[in-house]
Structure 1
Amino acid sequence: MSKITVLVVDDHPLLREGLIKILSLDDDLEVVGEAGDGETGIKLVHECRPQVVLMDINLPKINGIQACKVIKEQYPETQVIVLTVYEEEKLVLDIVRAGANGYLLKDVEPNTLVQAIKDAVCGKAPLHPKIAGKVLHQFGQMAKALDMNNGPLLTNREQEIVRLMAKGATNRSIAKELFISEKTVKNHITNIFKKLEVGDRTEAVIKAMEKKII
């Protein structure tokens, strides 16, 4: 089984070194590069094509939000996990809108960080408990302000799938939960993306919540 490749982007050399040591202890992970700013991070994504980018928000040259947006636009299959000290709701929503697949705080336990990387590769969206609460609160506020009829209509089955996607479920687990094939799940997700006019699972969940579809 091939290892999960990871790029670490943080402007603090000591923290980068510590993260690399932690990740290198796991046999399933391989750190393929490190960067101290967003610009270099984007360049290394192009050169190394990591499966996961572990990145801070407050970066020199190009900040983490802008870097995440560029990475997800150019390499949508790359999973971007934010690892930061910032908990502000606006920053959380900005980075999620930029396409981030996960958001963790730097007080996270090493084993939780390692598992989050593995979960992201499997299609899940790792969130620190504090951040999950902020995201749900913001989406709740946004939902109250929106007209229920403002968005595209999904079928009952598509709504079920989006709800499971919001919980971080993979295609395989969705298929098992709904007693359908993975191919059928993929077809439904393709239709969901078209109806919501989005390009990935995270955007689909956000759009569905904004439109009060789920």
Structure 2
Amino acid sequence: MGMKLINLLIADDHALIREGLRKILSIEPQIQVVGEVENGQKAVEFCKQKEVDIVLMDINMPLMNGIEACRAIKEEHSQIGIIALTIHDQDEYLFELIKHGISGYVLKDVHPDQLIQTILGVARGESFIPPALTARVLAEFSRLTSSEQYDKKHQALTEREIEVLKHVAKGQSNKAIAKSLFISEKTVKNHLTNIFQKIGVVDRTQAALYAIKEKFVDL
């Protein structure tokens, strides 16, 4: 099976950072940088015109910031993975980003290898939120989520779905979950589709937070 290239867009208002990211990512044969833009508005426009799999999104940009751009892109192209790039742990942004379906969150001082692994992981459908931030985000998530929305939802989950959800909350990939439960990756994907629908979430990160909130797993 041929290796599918990951079409990646870099959105950052600093030319130097864009150049640095392009150089780092050119090392990985599976990643193809298809464009660079300097603000959120241009990122949204680019995604309308070209085929993009993943956007590396700076948070603080002129005209339209990364959060607004994330929301706009996800509304039209839910399949595009978005990885936020930020200078420091901006918790208040992270919650907003999770709400809008972000797939990953990395600091700008991330090791190049880790950045590449995050991109490859998001392309496989995984989520990357630093564990150190999960507890803080969860507190915010619990505070803002209406209890009615979640009330008794997990009663509708089967035992197997709860098992899958526990593994998701521990940050395991579909491949690792399949191996642990002795089922195929396709079955894991089917379970995840059902779980997302039943508990009313759109991605793995929200599902993981739900699992922690419902005490299926302990932090």
* 8 Å CA contact retained: 1:68, 1:100: yes
What root-mean-square deviation, in Å, do the aligned CA atoms of Structure 1 and Structure 2 show? 2.5
> 1:68-83 residue pairs with structure 2 within 5 A?
68-83=70-85
What secondary structure sits across from 1:82 in the alignment? strand
The DSSP-based 3-state class of the residue aligned with 1:34 is strand
Counterpart mapping for 1:142-181 below 5 A: 150-153=151-154, 154-181=157-184
The correspondence of residues 133-212 of structure 1 with structure 2, limited to 5 A, is 133-139=132-138, 150-153=151-154, 154-212=157-215
- Offset at 1:36? 0.4
Output the CA distance in 1 between the equivalents of 2:44 and 2:101: 14
Structure 2: gaps spanning 5 or more residues? none
Shift of 1:180: 2.0
Question: What residue ranges of structure 1 are gaps of 5+ in the alignment?
Answer: none
% identical aligned pairs: 40
Equivalence map 1:60-139=2 (5 Å) = 60-127=62-129, 131-139=130-138
Task: Compute the TM-score of the two structures, normalised by the length of structure 2.
Answer: 0.85
In 1, the alpha carbon distance for the partners of 2:95 and 2:209 equals 10
Q: What is the CA distance between 1:75 and its match in structure 2?
A: 1.3
Task: Kindly provide the amino acid, as one letter, of the partner of residue 116 in structure 1.
Answer: T
Deviation, 1:68, is: 0.8
State the number of aligned residues: 211
Distance 1:86 1:200 in 2: 24
Could you tell me the TM-score, scaled by structure 1's length?
0.87
> Could you tell me how far 1:212 is from its partner in structure 2?
4.3
* Shift, 1:32, TM fit: 0.1
User: CA, structure 1 residues 7+147, in 2 after alignment: closer, same or farther (shift >3 Å)?
Assistant: closer
